[in-house]
Chain A
Amino acid sequence: MAAFDVPPFRPYPIIPELKPDAMKKDGPFIAKPDHQEALGFPGKLVDNWQEKAIEKMGDLLKRFRSFQVYMDACVKCGACTDKCHYFIGTSDPKNMPVARQDLLRQVYRRYFTFAGKYFPKLVGAKDLTREILDEWYNYYHQCSQCRRCSVFCPYGIDTAEISMAAREIMDSIGHGQKYCNEIIAKVYKIGNNLGLPEPALRDTLEGLEEDILDATGVAVRLPIDEEGVDVLLVTPSADFFAEPHVDGLVGYAKVFHQAGISWTISSYASEAANFSMFIGSYENMRKIALRIRQAAIDLKVKRIVFGECGHAWRVAYSFLNTLAGPFDFLDPKYPVPQHICELTYDLIQRGALKLDKTANDHMKLTFHDSCNVARATRMGSMPGGQFVIPREVIKAVCNHYYDMPSDTIHDGTFCCGGGGGLLTDDLMEVRVKGALPRMEALKQVTDDHGVTHMAAICAICKSQFTKVLPYYGFRMDQIVSVHQLVSNAIVLSPPE
């Protein structure tokens, strides 16, 4: 099945024996000139790339104080070394967070610090060579920017931001990644990551309406571009396209229907994901965020609700107001924006939904905290709401729920292995190996409690698990959407 060895489950979580250069490779496919240029980057590696890369690094150091602090603050304490799922799964010491940071730090020291300029050997400072650029490209695409390491760093050094900065530097010299940049270009051209044009989107939504009617006898709508409704739903385009994502979308539609909330999808902003965060490009991130603002204005909605998408919720919760605000034209009674889980949770609290838990009795559930939701956002008004609310939603619709081991959930959650722009076939080896710690945790609740399914609220997690579960002896359909469970349990009012 694989051209590489799938790592075996460990009897207990020991630090792996180091295998230097185990993942020394060429990295993912390089972006084509038209992908690069659509994002405002040079089409291919520029001639004076060293000079330009250093210049860009200087620019980022000035713009982001955090980046400068992260470059300076590391004391090599070692707390982060065994916290990265890619290190655990690959044993390559360059996948230790500190080593990943040092790839950039060594160049930073050479060009931006006194000691590095005059005594480079003493402080591990290095000239930016082609060899180092290749290492950047390879190892900064073996980081899913999940930020687990930063939870354990006593200085709070955020490897995700360092990896974003590295990708921004590489993009700026014409050395970008195909997967991310092709997708961002598609958002500009068509409106979503998939490149799903409006007629196809309409056809897909109509088909889903037919399916729900066939299955339930109730006409539940999935409206598109309807002006003057209450809610604009912004959801990852995978929700229209893939399984189990689409079952989550059906769940949102049933919740809106049953709560009597009018809503619409926008064909212009038919994507929640914002891959520009993965490549650290503020300008591109803003451009995508502004599409959502524009759709909300054009459709004259009162609220914006985000579907199940991990990093989209980070961009929405943490950055949307600065990127595309102010949202003073929306109803101030509701959070701007709101997560679909918050909306459903509130309705459940109010007793506004009739739920039949036995509809999910064929499953025993656990929940995978998606890294961006867990470590970069919140839900609801209580601390830790992003952990509590999705679980409470699941427990309201399922009789059997069990958490995975405590060091693998909440803010200690392990990445699915496919986040941060790594969900591409050319990175399958790192994706499979990086899934090891999560698969071990799932195995444990499978053995201890007979768990049969894992629910998630992120399109990347769902696709990644669909692909990697079989490598570890599970079935691909053991990953489900949280709102798929809601969809199963919700009792729809019979037609009038």
Chain B
Amino acid sequence: MAVVTANGKDVEVDEEGYLTDLNTWDEDIAKVLADQDKLELTESHWEVIHFLREYYNEYQIAPAVRVLTKAIGKKLGPEKGNSKYLYELFPYGPAKQACRFAGLPKPTGCI
């Protein structure tokens, strides 16, 4: 099993780079995971990442794209409540890339 290291702390990831245990996540880990994709996390990224974790804690699944865009729109203004904005932040797709940075399991299925 592969590991990523942040601040001397090793955490386990699966073969696709997703944390195997949600509870091992912290912000430094998120930065290291983003760094692997050559992304620097800004305040806008953190808004999304924190929402994903909150939603996951309540529902045990990442939010559907409309749930996410609506929540972001309410928080940051309607011009940001769309998937175009999210793809600008997370070019590989908000569902997969943002979930990975947030320490959530990879969403599966026909998506």
Contacts and interface: CB of A to CB of B under 8 A. Distances in A.
A282 interface: no
B95 A242 contact: yes
Contact of A207 (B61, B70, B93): B70
Contact of B109 (A207, A241, A246): A241
Nearest to B107: A194
B43 interface: no
B66 A208 contact: yes
Interface residues of B, number: 22
A186 B5 CA distance: 30
A252 to B, nearest CB: 15
A459 B109 CA distance: 9
B66 A192 contact: no
Nearest to A423: B110
Interface in B85-111: 87, 93, 95-96, 107-111
A200 B110 contact: no
B70 to A, nearest CB: 6
Given A200-B61, A203-B67, A204-B66, A182 B108 contact: yes
Interface stretch (A89-97, A232-240, A331-339): A232-240
A199 interface: yes
Contact of A179 (B63, B107, B108): B108
Contacts of A237: 109-110
A246 B110 contact: no
A194 B108 contact: yes
Contacts of B59: 197, 199-200, 203
Interface in A431-486: 459-460, 462-463, 467, 476
Interface string B35-59: 0000000000000000000000011
A101 interface: no
Contact of B110 (A207, A208, A236, A426): A236
A241 B107 contact: yes
Given A200-B60, A203-B67, A207-B70, A29 B16 contact: yes
Contacts of A240: 64
B66 A207 contact: yes
A178 B89 CA distance: 29
A163 B109 CA distance: 20
**Which residue of B64, B87, B93, B110 has the most chain A CB atoms within 10 A of its CB atom?**
B110
Nearest to A183: B108
A227 interface: no
**Which residue of B58, B64, B93 has the most chain A CB atoms within 10 A of its CB atom?**
B64
A179 B64 CA distance: 20
A227 B70 CA distance: 30
A273 interface: yes
A72 interface: no
Interface in A163-189: 179, 182-183, 186
A211 B109 contact: no
Given A29-B15, A425-B96, A273 B64 contact: no
A63 B45 CA distance: 54
A51 to B, nearest CB: 29
Contacts of A245: 110-111
A238 B58 CA distance: 20
Contacts of A423: 110
A246 B65 contact: yes
A192 B108 CA distance: 10
A186 B60 CA distance: 13
A52 B59 CA distance: 42
A186 B65 contact: no
A193 interface: yes
Nearest to A461: B110
**Which residue of B70, B87, B96 has the most chain A CB atoms within 10 A of its CB atom?**
B70
A196 interface: yes
Contacts of A183: 108-109
A28 to B, nearest CB: 10
A273 to B, nearest CB: 6
A279 B60 CA distance: 27
Nearest to A462: B110
12 contacts: A29-B16, A179-B108, A193-B110, A197-B60, A199-B59, A204-B63, A207-B64, A236-B110, A242-B64, A242-B95, A246-B65, A246-B66
Interface of A: 29, 179, 182-183, 186, 192-197, 199-200, 203-204, 207-208, 211, 236-238, 240-243, 245-246, 273, 309, 423, 425-426, 459-460, 462-463, 467, 476
Given A241-B95, A242-B111, A425-B96, 14 more contacts: A29-B15, A193-B110, A194-B109, A194-B111, A195-B60, A195-B61, A195-B107, A195-B109, A199-B58, A208-B66, A238-B111, A243-B83, A463-B110, A463-B111
Interface of B: 15-16, 58-61, 63-67, 70, 83, 87, 93, 95-96, 107-111
**Top-5 shortest CB links A-B:** A193-B109, A459-B110, A200-B59, A238-B110, A194-B109
